[in-house]
Amino acid sequence: MDRVELAAFLRRRREELRPEDVGLPVGARRRAPGLRREEVASLAAMSTDYYTRLEQQRGPQPSEQMLGSLARALRLSDDERDYLFRVAGRNAPSHQAGGTHVAPALQRVLDRLNDTPALILSNLGEVLMQNRFAEALYGDSSHFTGLARSGIYRWFTDPDERLVYPEHDRDRQSRAQVANLRAAYATMGPKSRAGELVRVLQKESAEFAEIWERHEVSNRFEDHKVLVHPQLGEIEVDCQALFTEDQSQALLVLTAPPRTEAFDKLQLLGVLGTEKFVS
């Protein structure tokens, strides 16, 4: 671990970012144009004290998970992310499809979507980033670990995962989940994380095993769907997806026509957040 270079790299990347680059309000009384340390710490879900010690060359060696969070917070490119890992004394993550480092181009778009649900997904159905509207609609996905990080895995192993869709649409959604995984499997190969997901789900879910044998393939998202919020009820949304060039990540944006009930419900998500209505 090169503490001096790590501290210098973090400080320079922080100073080159602007609040508007990461979706933060500009505010007033900024002595320097870059982000504050506490802002980077908040974006990376770590304490300000921990981040400050890294910049002061006295922090402990960051874990791979912590470095990944810093790379996303500082909007690093793939090359910059790899450099961060190496000066911190860690092996740079693989660049194979299915990686969890958010594509900077998608992240810049997400940063500017502040009035409707939007999230970035890997080709394994992992939520890599989500705005507050998407978190209010789908729930916070940041606490999942291991295979459970994949929404495809949870769809076939956790009944609660299906509650966001109306019952009449769940069979179609099951087929879509499997079709998406088969597309990822073709790209990543049987020895990849996609292959591991397939092998585990074939053992754990008879439904998955049956659908997998249909050999349906797709990486598209349904253009129009109905989602169910526990307090707001059914919400009809239009779904648009922006993919990276290699199709490994997608920015999913959910909207509804203005002056409709669905539009009003989406706006209410911004007020509701992750809180629950009191009956």
Query: Is the pTM here over 0.75, yes or no?
Result: no
More confident residue, 26 or 274: 26
More confident residue, 196 or 112: 196
Q: What is the pLDDT averaged over residues 37-63?
A: 90
Q: Report strand pairing: 127-130 vs 118-122.
A: antiparallel
pLDDT over 70, % of the chain: 91
Question: What pLDDT does 97 receive?
Answer: 47
Six-digit token string for 269: 């998500």
For residue 180, CA distances in Å to 16, 186, 187, 241 come to: 38, 10, 11, 14
26 forms beta bridges with none
Average pLDDT, the chain: 87
Do 87 and 2 contact (CB within 8 A), yes or no? yes
Q: What are phi and psi of 250, to 5 degrees?
A: -140, 140
Q: What is the pLDDT averaged over residues 13-20?
A: 85
Residues listed for the chain: 279
Question: What pLDDT does 23 receive?
Answer: 72
Question: What pLDDT does 95 receive?
Answer: 57
Of 16-20, 123-127, 177-181, which range is least confident?
16-20
| Banded pLDDT at 244 (limits 50, 70, 90) | confident
Question: What pLDDT does 27 receive?
Answer: 66
Six-digit token string for 243: 């993919």
| Banded pLDDT at 148 (limits 50, 70, 90) | very high
Question: What pLDDT does 188 receive?
Answer: 86
Q: Choose the most confident range, by mean pLDDT, from 75-79, 217-221, 225-229.
A: 225-229
Give yes or no for residue 210 having a pLDDT over 50: yes
Of 12-16, 171-175, 233-237, which range is least confident?
12-16
pLDDT tens for 113-128 read: 888 999 999 999 999 9
The C-alpha atoms of residue 241 and residue 172 are separated, in whole angstroms, by: 19
Give yes or no for residue 219 having a pLDDT over 80: no
Nearest to 237 by CA among 69, 81, 119: 119
Q: What is the pLDDT averaged over residues 79-89?
A: 88
More confident residue, 192 or 221: 192
For residue 68, CA distances in Å to 23, 90, 139 come to: 19, 11, 22
Buried b or exposed e, range 12-38, using 16+ CB within 10 angstroms: ebbeebebebbebeeeeeeeeebbbbe
Give yes or no for residue 79 having a pLDDT over 60: yes
Give yes or no for residue 277 having a pLDDT over 80: no
| Banded pLDDT at 202 (limits 50, 70, 90) | very high
The C-alpha atoms of residue 260 and residue 265 are separated, in whole angstroms, by: 9
Q: What is the pLDDT averaged over residues 22-38?
A: 75
